A = this chain, B = another copy of it.
């Protein structure tokens, strides 16, 4: 049993009691006290466990073991700490990115570059992380502002206090040159600029998105004088040498602070993507003093401002509160706000990086942010448009100041359409439409996985992406929905021709629909087709020794045999059972093609009963709620309840898949409150809430309250609903219903009712 599975809530209770005494801001059990950064750090969650501000640029945290994990952290306590680097991402899969400018406190006078220590007494709280480095008996504590990390290292008495500063380190290094998805070293530099300060940079390329070189500059200042030092270049040590210029080799420094006086050495380390001087300025601007506790508390105040906007039932269980506020927390870790830190161009627009990836986050993270902080979401959309303006394409993923890569669709379309239909102001929607049309009309060229729409020539000529391209299936499905989003915006901007064209293209998924294909009782599947229009039952996977091998493709295939890269599948990270239902703009058509309502319900039941549904991945995010379109919101509610209880909890393994910078977490937050967005469209599906009450305090000054009557474990079904005291027969509301404020009341019951059975959720726009 993994170590962090013991009851987190118990520790939290203890911690809340303690914190309330010493942290004034938490005096009234601030919502932030329920955040447990360890949730999702075990299993597939890949959650970053160190401190961060909302959308904070700097994320200092432990790097463990071989430095090969996505978040730096490894949950197995047998894995030693090898240092604390300043930049991380949260919840990602694929090859790691970042892990830059590593610090490692140690004890002793030895000039040894590689330091590592077993760990103990690990504590992660909102904007705080601490661990005991057992080898040296050093307590390391971390907190942060937006651009500056604050480290406090407490040593044993009268031992030599030393710190390694390592700009040569990065996550995911591989011994094979140019290994796919691995980060590659380009250069590093270090200079001890005074007896209390060090600056330099690291320059790295590659990683999951195969990005161009990015440079992370730093300026570190210590509250003790450096008594002696050794720098290195490559593996060669240079005692006393204060500069190591960049010659394409790894550099770093071992700093020694003596063995007398205070047992604590504090470090403020500013980060910048512009220069070391800018990093120094960031330190001066964000942490002028030396109070660790002030930095910690100021950060918590910032978080609390966000958490206060969503107040859930004070009587909710602590487990629920932990799950809910940690979910909000995860949603606000990324993308990161790098306004003023863009080395590529100047602009008066905000700049955000680490969209990782929009394919993951468009469904739930963006809609949740739109409710929590519409001004933030406006900034993010404007940052996307600014990237389009300067780099030529909207990103689907972007990291290290580099667009790339794509997993399927050009899903920024959905984010923009979502902003538009929900009335976000301050966005140049004419420019946005141009950006979306570029995706839809201009093939991205040499590197078809970087940006735009790979396989677009096929898609625009044939109406689907043929098997001449990788990921042909989900590209077709994604593009069709992206096209629907273009149609919505074109309609709003009175571009009639574009509206008609893209509304028509939104049906392109139908060109891969194999209507006569039956599988496990279901009929009709999206299946592979070649360029001449033939559906294929088997596909080539290797031709070696003049012999061609084939494998059968079925609606359950979701990995290819060896010899074929796994991202070359017909569907990215999914099967046809999942993707054939992933048509968020036209479920009624899917129902009709599946044989009607009854057959569709059976199809969903088969999906869930047989484990064909994948809780851990985004293409299935909407699927539990598809029962709504069959007039059965009760079944949606039951599925959601089941999925949450089987897959989510407050333990370190409490997230069932890669959190994908908050995607899985925001899915949870919506469902706990009892409503769920269909991103890119202006409505929310309603179902039996898991929380008795939730109140959204909106930036426009209005409150939207969701409350319940007769809420109990037994009363799992919705009997009736009122919106602002008027009966609501349908199981959905619009965005406008929320933003104008009001109260949604669910009357609960022990059995299903006829609520939501007649007026079904919206279908596709019609000409």
- B340 contacts A247, CB within 8 Å? yes
- Give Cα A247 to B341, complex, Å: 9
CA distance A340 to B340 in the complex (A): 30
Is B343 within 8 A of A203, CB to CB?
yes
Chain B min CB distance to A730 (Å): 43
Contacting pair A245 B445 (CB below 8 A): no
Question: Which residues from chain B contact A438 at a C-beta distance below 8 Å?
Answer: 446
Beyond known contacts A184-B345, A187-B274: 16 more, CB 8 A cutoff? A186-B344, A189-B277, A189-B278, A201-B275, A203-B343, A205-B345, A213-B343, A213-B344, A245-B277, A246-B278, A248-B346, A438-B446, A444-B445, A445-B445, A445-B447, A457-B457
Interface readout for A430-453 with B: 1 if CB under 8 Å, 0 if not? 000000001000111111000110
In the assembled complex, 26 residue pairs joining A and B whose CB atoms fall closer than 8 Å, in A order, are A184-B345, A186-B343, A186-B345, A186-B346, A187-B274, A187-B275, A187-B343, A189-B275, A189-B277, A205-B344, A213-B343, A213-B344, A213-B345, A243-B277, A245-B275, A245-B277, A245-B281, A246-B278, A247-B281, A247-B340, A248-B340, A442-B445, A443-B446, A444-B446, A445-B446, A457-B457
Residues of chain B within 8 A of A447, CB atoms compared: 392, 445
Q: Is A393's beta carbon under 8 Å from chain B?
A: yes
A256 at the interface (CB under 8 A from B): no
- Whole-angstrom distance between the Cβ of A754 and the nearest chain B Cβ: 52
Which residues from B are CB-within-8-Å of A205? 344-345
- Is B457 touching A446 in the complex (CB atoms < 8 A)? no
Does any Cβ of B come within 8 Å of A212's Cβ?
yes
Residue of B nearest to A245 (CB): B277
Nearest CB of chain B from residue A701's CB, rounded to whole Å: 35
Closest to A447 in B: B392
Q: Is A659 an interface residue (CB 8 A)?
A: no
Tell me which residues across on chain B come within 8 A of A201, comparing CB atoms.
275
Query: Which of A191, A245, A393, A452 is the most central at the interface, judged by chain B CB atoms within 10 Å of its CB?
Result: A245
Please list the 7 inter-chain residue pairs (A to B) with the smallest Cβ-Cβ separation, ordered nearest first. Answer: A445-B445, A245-B277, A248-B346, A444-B445, A245-B281, A213-B344, A246-B274
CB of A185 within 8 Å of the partner chain? yes
Tell me the A residues contacting B by CB distance below 8 Å: 184-187, 189, 191, 201, 203, 205, 212-213, 215, 243-248, 274-275, 277-278, 280-281, 340, 343-346, 392-393, 438, 442-447, 451-452, 457
Nearest-Cβ distance from residue A181 to partner chain B, whole angstroms: 16
Complex CA gap A188/B666 in Å reads 40
Contact between chains at A187 and B346 (CB < 8 Å): yes
Question: A277's closest neighbor in chain B, by CB?
Answer: B245
Give the distance in Å from the alpha carbon of A483 to the alpha carbon of B160 in the complex.
Answer: 68
Kindly list chain B residues whose C-beta atoms are within 8 Å of the C-beta of A247. 278, 281, 340
Q: How far is the CB of A632 from chain B (nearest CB, A)?
A: 45
Residues of B near A444 (CB, < 8 A) are 445-446
Question: How far, in Å, is A234 (CB) from chain B's closest CB?
Answer: 12
**A278 touching B446 in the complex, CB below 8 Å, given contacts A186-B343, A344-B186, A345-B213:** no
Residues in B with CB closer than 8 Å to A187 are 274-275, 343, 346
Verify A245–B280 contact, CB threshold 8 A.
yes
The residue of chain B having its C-beta at the shortest distance from the C-beta of A210 within the complex is B392
Alpha-carbon gap, A24 to B410, bound state (A): 67
Q: How many Å lie between the Cα of A107 and that of B185 in the bound state?
A: 46
CA distance A187 to B273 in the complex (A): 12
What residues of B have a CB within 8 angstroms of the CB of A340 in the complex?
247-248
Of A191, A246, A278, most B-chain CB atoms within 10 Å: A246
A442 cross-chain contacts in B, Cβ below 8 A: 445-446
Please indicate the chain B residues that have their CB under 8 angstroms from the CB of A345 in the complex.
Answer: 184, 186, 205, 213
- Which residues of chain B come closer than 8 Å to A451, judged between CB atoms? 446
B392 touches A446 (CB 8 A): yes
Query: Chain B contacts of A275 at CB under 8 A?
Result: 187, 189, 201, 245-246
* Nearest Cβ on chain B to A250's Cβ, whole angstroms: 11
A212's nearest neighbour on chain B, judged by CB, is B344
- A607 → B minimal CB distance (Å): 38
Contacts of A213 in B (CB 8 A): 343-345
Chain B residues with CB below 8 A from A452, complex form: 445-446
